[in-house]
Every structure is written in C-alpha cells, then in structure tokens.
Structure 1
Amino acid sequence: MKNILPSIICLFLIIKVTAQENRKFFYATLQDEVSAIANAHVINLNTKQGTFTNNNGEFRVLAKANDTLQISFVGYETKNFVVDVNHFGMQENYIQLKKVPIELDEIAIKKHNLLGHITSDTKHIKSKKEINAETLNLPFAGSRILTPAERRLHTATSSYGGIAIDPLLNWISGRIKKLKKFKAIEDKEKRIEHIRNNYHILIEYELKILKEDIDRFIYFVESANDFTPSFLHNEVTMILFLQKKSDEFKKLNPKNYK
C-alpha cells in the first residue's frame, strides 16, 4: 500500500497539471468610452492564436486563467489583458481601450493660383486619369476572376459568333462532363478548406474530436446528405450542424469515443 500511494499522488498531480492546460472559450466585448470597437485584433500571447471583434465589438478566443490577451486597434493604446478564472462565469466581460491622438506628418504648403471658386479653380487643377481595365473598356473588365476549373469549363462551353461547334464537339466527346466533374471536386475542396480554417479549434476543443480524426470528421460533415453550402455563410447554423454531426460521428466510432 505504501508503494502504491506515491504513484497515486503522482498520477493526481499529472491529471491536475493537464487539466490546467485545457483551455475553453473566453467571451468578451471590446469598447471605448462611447461605443463598441469592431475589427480590433485580439491575440492570446500564450498560444499565439488570435481573432477579430465583430461589428458589436464581441469576440471569443481560447484561453485559461493567467493567459495574457493582447488587444490592438488603430487609434487606440494596445492593451494586455490578463484572464482571470472568474471571467469564465456567467458574468459579461467588458474590456475598454483608450483612444490616443494621431500625429500627422508635417505638411508643406506651396503657392498656387486658386481663387476659392469652384467654377474657376477646376480649370487650373490637373488630375491624372486612372488607367485600368475598366477605364480602357476592355472585355470582361471588373468581372470576377475565374478559378482554373471554371475557366476550362467556360472555354469548353462558350462560342464567339456563328454556330457553336466547339461546345457541341466537347459535349459529344464527354469533355464537358469531365470538366463539370473537376469543377464539382474543386467546389468540394473549397468547402472543406473553409470548414477546416474556421472551425478546427471548435471541433477539437469543444466538440472533443480527436486531433487525428479532424480531417476525417470534416469530410464526414461536408459529405452528409443534410449539409448544404449555405451553412457556410451562417456561423450559428454551421456550429449547430457540427455539434449534431459530432454526435453521429462518435456513435460510428465507439472505440475511440466512449
């Protein structure tokens, strides 16, 4: 019994240290003396992970007690905020930034022949005309740049005057069908990459999906019959869907998720 007791104490200490390393989401609202601050940069200096505040000044970031958050925004003093264990309770957390005056560079004033009247002064003002695809009236100026798969499909299905021979030949040869398949694969990869970039922290730390299963889980989510690409444009809907699919995924893998 005396030999077992030290082992039990060591095991308890290891579990306690490990538990302290576990981080959960810290929620807060960033504001100045008047209103909320949107698009401010928040980074956890201990984990080097960061985020931005939304239009209401709200943000969330993985943290634990004694982590230091560095908060910065143009026109405000950078602030280091130390997270306390009480910040994870039911209370709302508010962090205030202080505005700082912005010093302008020295301006050199030159003599001019302007009189202060728009009708006469506009004749003396010379401006350089912007030269770009739109001002030159080039074809397709200002349109969205196509992806490689979209460009190949567009080329194969388009005709420029006369009878559309090329699209017909491409359809007969099966090339259009193959290009559409490539386009579908490209779209799928984009959706998977979007989920991985925006939700991998949530998947690992909140949904408790094993790190080695994250990629497999993301493919499982994107391939689900009840998944639609519109979910990617609504964060709340996507989070609820991920929570639902995490339960299904764990049931399909009972050995790893007991």
Structure 2
Amino acid sequence: MNKVVCVFFVFLANNLLAQVGVSPVVKGKVDVNAMDLEGIYVVNLKTEASVVTDAEGVFAIPAKIGDTLVFSSVQFKERRVILTDENFVSANFSVRMEPAMNQLREVIIKRYDNINAVALGIIPAGQRSYTAAERKLKAATSLDPTATAGTMAGGSISADPLLNLFSGRSKMLKKELAVEKKEIFMQLLENMFDTDHFVRKLSIPVDYVKGFEYFAIENESFTKILNSKNKTTTEFLLGELAVKYKEIIARENN
C-alpha cells in the first residue's frame, strides 16, 4: 500500500513540474478595417517569442499574465498590450490597430516648360505639330510615293488613300477633325471668358450662354481672332456676335 502511495505522489509531482514548465498560450485576433490581416508580427517582449497573424488576423502565442505583447506591421501603427487574466479566459480577445498614415508635409510642383520634344531633339525646331485627328486624316489621305502597293501615273503609290476615299473613311475623318477644332476653340473661349462675362457684360441669358458659345465658334472670322489669343479684339467681336444672337433669341421667343 505504501508503495502505491509513493508511486502516486511521484507521478503527481512530475505532472505538476511538467505543468509549471509549460507556458500558457493566449489566443486572439487583430481588429482593423482592412481586407488582408496576414503577416502582422506579434512579439512577447519578455520571452521574445514571436508569431504572425493569419489572413483573418488570428494569432496564438505563449505568454503569461503581465507579459507585454507588441503588434507591429508596415501598414499599421504599433500597438502594445499588457496581458491580464481576462485575456486568457475571454474567447473574444481582440486587439484594435490603426492604419499608418504617412502624410507628406509639403508637395512642391515644378514646371519644366523648357523640356519638350524640340528641346530633347525628338522633332526639329519650327516644325508644325499636328493634333490626333489631323494625323489620322493626313495618314488616310496622303499618297506615299515610296509605297509598292501599285503603280499609277508612272509612280508607285499606296492604295490606302484611294480605298479610304471610296469607303467614306476620309470624309468621316474630316468630320472628326472639324469637331476636334471646334472643341479646341470652345476650350479657348471658355478659358478666356467665364459665364459671368457673357451674362453681365454681353447680357446673354444664362440659359443661352452655351448656345452663344457654339454660335460664336461657328463664325470663321471669330475663330481666327480667337486663335490669335488677342483678348481685346476677341471681346470686341464677341460683342457684335452677341447683338446678332440676342436678335435670334428674340425672334424665336415671339
């Protein structure tokens, strides 16, 4: 009987010693407004044990009451938590973290007007630059004497311009170019004069301002002056066009 009791106490003592040597594990979850929470470091400062969270922010690390856990990641602010007994028994132990906002103190925008295609030697100085619509039209209508698609009038030319002519593509591209030019003129006009100018100085009703702008850019003489960017001359001609436009409005309203 005494032998049985001794064996029992020896077994119990070994079991207690084993339990003393094993550190408890605290389990929890990182709580933050982010889609991917994987890879957040969790470090026990006392034991230097470390783990990383999974994609849902869940972690489990050996620790004891009073240990300090450090949560750190590149995209989040560092957070330190001193463990209490509640952290070990709570099934909803969560650690709130905030995204790291790297705010710039100052943004300086520099203009380099001297850096352009001419300065870099990409195109020769003085060469005319073409818009996208102009390049399309030029490519569709120009005869290339170096092409070998066929022979006509004693020279070798490309058949593409002729095909574009018969298919109506050249006509379509001309319309596209005309629309693009009107858009450019409209932008120039709106950059030079705001809506208040048309309403207050030219007495154009505010609901008719946009129509007056289209009316003005349809005038070829006006667009030539507008393209010169001479504001004084442009404003004078706008006054004359405004008189005509208001007469049209009056006739339509009668």
Shared fold per TM-score greater than 0.5: no
TM interval, short-chain normalised: 0.3 to 0.5
TM-score with structure 2 setting the length: 0.42
Q: TM-score, normalized by length of structure 1?
A: 0.41
Larger radius of gyration: 2
